[in-house]
A and B are shown apart, each in its own frame.
Chain A
Amino acid sequence: EPEVTQTPSHQVTQMGQEVILRCVPISNHLYFYWYRQILGQKVEFLVSFYNNEISEKSEIFDDQFSVERPDGSNFTLKIRSTKLEDSAMYFCASSENRASGANVLTFGAGSRLTVL
């Protein structure tokens, strides 16, 4: 079954450092998302991406965050200057299309970011 793959599975970084989390969405999917989950809390939406641009972002997704689809397969989340409170599990997700009105998301296994 097709899956969303994320790398790295775990990254430890020092506060203030830049981090790039990578995702390979399912190949025929058109919509891409990043979510995060701070330990013990709910899964929060960060950003959605379609047709090479951000379609929606939450208030969490401030100027320290950026997303990119550098080639036909990868989708990346960059955190420019990490803070302690960025420590969380980051999930990438993709979906096929919304034409039918359904938007079923397939999630990756997550990248755990620990900021020291």
Chain B
Amino acid sequence: SQQGEEDPQALSIQEGENATMNCSYKTSINNLQWYRQNSGRGLVHLILIRSNEREKHSGRLRVTLDTSKKSSSLLITASRAADTASYFCAPHFNDYKLSFGAGTTVTVRA
């Protein structure tokens, strides 16, 4: 299994602004998933993008995937205080498990 590497490590934005974070990975994938973790809580699945997809939307979330560059990005538009959390990407091939990196910690200031 492989884990993604999120960048930046931390991000601080004003409420209403957009937040963009990136994920890089090393080997071929079937899909790539993004998860959110609020402080001290379990991870919550946000969105899954398959290897044959280039872009996907879910509410205020927009995910892109570039398999040639082995990278993905997560955009949160019109951020809210409730978006304050850590965000993790999980590239997935055929393993049973998902592996998580250090994540991007997003702080949304009121």
Chief secondary structure at chain B's binding surface: loop
**Are A104 and B96 in contact (CB-based, < 8 A)?**
no
Q: How far is the CA of A98 from the CA of B102 in the complex (A)?
A: 25
Residues from chain A with a CB closer than 8 A to the CB of B45 are 104-106
Alpha-carbon distance between A106 and B41 when the two chains are bound, in angstroms: 12
Q: CB-defined interface of A77-116 with B at 8 Å, one 1/0 digit per residue?
A: 0000000000001010100001001111111111010000
Set A56, A91, A101, A107: member contacting B31, Cβ < 8 A: A101
- Tally of contact residues, B, Cβ under 8 A: 26
Contacts of B41 in A (CB 8 A): 109-110
Q: How far is B100's CA from A44's CA once the two chains are assembled, in angstroms? A: 7
Tell me if A43 and B43 are in contact (CB < 8 A): yes
Chain B nearest Cβ from A73, distance in angstroms? 19
From B43, B50, B95, B99, contact of A107 by CB (8 A): B43
Q: A101-B31, A109-B41 are in contact. Are A42 and B102 (CB under 8 A)?
A: yes
Where chain A touches its partner, the secondary structure class is strand
- Residues of A near B42 (CB, < 8 A) are 4, 91, 93, 107-110
Across the interface, which residues of B come within 8 angstroms of A106, CB to CB?
Answer: 45
- A108–B37 alpha-carbon span in the complex (Å): 11
Residues of A within 8 A of B43 (CB): 43, 91, 93, 105, 107
Contact among A101, A103, A107 for B44, CB-based, below 8 A: A107
Encoded as 1 (CB less than 8 Å from any A CB) or 0, chain B from 16 to 56 comes to 00000000000000110101010011111100101000000
B99 to A: closest C-beta gap in Å? 6
Tell me, in angstroms, the Cα distance from A31 to B92 when the chains sit together: 15
Q: Which of B35, B50, B98 touches A103 (beta carbons < 8 Å)?
A: B98
Within 8 A of A (CB), among B49-96: 50, 88, 92, 94-96
State in angstroms the CA–CA spacing of A100 and B101 once bound together. Answer: 24
Question: Are B95 and A102 touching (Cβ within 8 A)?
Answer: no
Min CB distance, A49 to chain B, in Å?
Answer: 9
3 interchain residue pairs of minimum CB distance: A107-B42, A48-B96, A101-B30
- B residues sitting closer than 8 Å to A (CB atoms) are 1, 30-31, 33, 35, 37, 40-45, 48, 50, 88, 92, 94-103
